[in-house]
């Protein structure tokens, strides 16, 4: 005979076991299945939020691209403008040619044009150059002025304009010509600037050297006689450099020109300088 109590206790235990098993499965699902998913979701949301924030930041930066490109274009144009003004170190032959052309165009005689090899210090790169010209004041000065206009990076150290005996002026100048630094690549070539011919009149400001005047007078210059011609030109017998000759107004005596024959004196013009020589000598 089946013990009813035992059967009931067994049935109850089984029921309790199933209940415990169901709750155990619920806890295992909660901890082993749901919790990792929660954590994963939380981590994903964090990562997405972080990445979104970076994307927003990057997006703002990328939005600036048109203005950055515009700024680059402006800067590039500025640099190009300078590169058109300043010759590159490799363009020295063209530079020398321009100097010669300028001297030729302005009718100045180019006596010397020297340069030393490229020198550098920091970003600076330059050729030290020296030039010697001969010609009228306007010509030689015009060459230097045109050079300064053609090469805005020309740094003049010294310049000397000195008169000589042949009615011309010698010009000597030492200068540095700065060029674009060799380590910077240039995308355009230097463009020779168009210079305007000068209208500055410096014509007769320079006279003959004082030593030349002294030399002229030291060659035994004498007014030996003056003949007054009624209704005609006066003439003068001039002794110069061991010879005697009759001279009229406009005649040359050495480097001088007779501009006036008076009663007792003669006025010579030595390249603009008026010398009054009296009868009998100086």
Interface with another protein by CB under 8 A: which range of 66-74, 96-104, 128-136, 225-233? 66-74
Binding string, residues 7-46; x marks residues near another protein by CB under 8 A = -x---x--xx-xx--xx-xx--xx--xx--xx-xx--xx-
Q: How far is the CB of 7 from another protein (least distance, A)?
A: 11
Interface with another protein by CB under 8 A: which range of 58-66, 189-197, 229-237, 243-251? 58-66
Number of residues that bind another protein (CB under 8 A): 89
Map the footprint of another protein across residues 128-157, applying CB under 8 A: 137, 141, 144-145, 148, 152-157
Indicate whether 182 belongs to the interface with another protein (CB under 8 A).
no
Paired with 141 in beta bridges are none
Map the footprint of another protein across residues 236-265, applying CB under 8 A: none
Indicate whether 207 belongs to the interface with another protein (CB under 8 A).
yes
- Residues contacting residue 153 through CB under 8 Å, at least 6 positions apart: 85, 86, 87, 177, 178, 179
CA atoms within 13 A on the CB side of 53: 5
Q: How far is the CB of 231 from another protein (least distance, A)?
A: 29
Map the footprint of another protein across residues 75-104, applying CB under 8 A: 75-76, 78-79, 82-83, 85-86
d(CA 92, CA 82): 17
Q: How far is CA 5 from CA 9, 10, 58, 91, 213, in A?
A: 6, 9, 77, 118, 158
Backbone angles phi, psi at 68, to 5 degrees: -65, -45
d(CA 264, CA 282): 12
7, 9, 13, 71: which one contacts another protein (CB under 8 A)? 71
d(CA 271, CA 253): 12
Interface with another protein by CB under 8 A: which range of 55-63, 88-96, 102-110, 242-250? 55-63
Is residue 236 within a helix (H) or strand (E), and if so which, with residue range? strand 235-240
């Amino acid at each position: 005979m089946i013990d009813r109590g035992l059967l009931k206790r067994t049935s109850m235990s089984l029921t309790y076991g199933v209940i415990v098993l169901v709750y155990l499965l619920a806890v295992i699902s909660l901890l082993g299945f749901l919790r990792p998913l929660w954590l994963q979701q939380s981590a994903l949301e964090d990562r997405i939020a972080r990445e979104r924030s970076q994307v927003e930041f990057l997006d703002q930066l990328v939005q600036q691209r048109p203005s950055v490109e515009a700024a680059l274009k402006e800067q590039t144009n500025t640099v190009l403008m300078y590169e058109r003004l300043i010759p590159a170190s490799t363009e020295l032959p063209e530079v020398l040619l321009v100097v010669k052309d300028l001297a030729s165009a302005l009718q100045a005689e180019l006596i010397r044009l020297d340069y030393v090899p490229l020198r550098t210090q920091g970003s600076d790169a330059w050729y030290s150059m020296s030039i010697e010209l001969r010609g009228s004041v306007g010509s030689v000065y015009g060459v230097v002025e045109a050079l300064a206009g053609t090469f805005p990076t020309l740094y003049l150290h010294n310049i000397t304009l000195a008169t000589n005996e042949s009615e011309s002026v010698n010009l000597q100048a030492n200068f540095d010509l700065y060029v674009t630094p060799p380590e910077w690549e240039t995308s355009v070539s230097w463009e020779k600037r168009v210079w305007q011919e000068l209208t500055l009149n410096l014509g007769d400001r320079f006279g003959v050297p004082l030593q030349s005047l002294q030399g002229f007078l030291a060659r035994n210059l004498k007014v030996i006689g003056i003949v007054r011609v009624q209704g005609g030109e006066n003439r003068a017998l001039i002794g110069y450099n061991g010879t005697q000759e009759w001279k009229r107004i406009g005649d040359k005596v050495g480097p001088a020109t007779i501009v006036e024959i008076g009663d007792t004196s003669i006025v010579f013009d030595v390249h603009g300088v008026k010398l009054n020589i009296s009868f009998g000598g100086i």
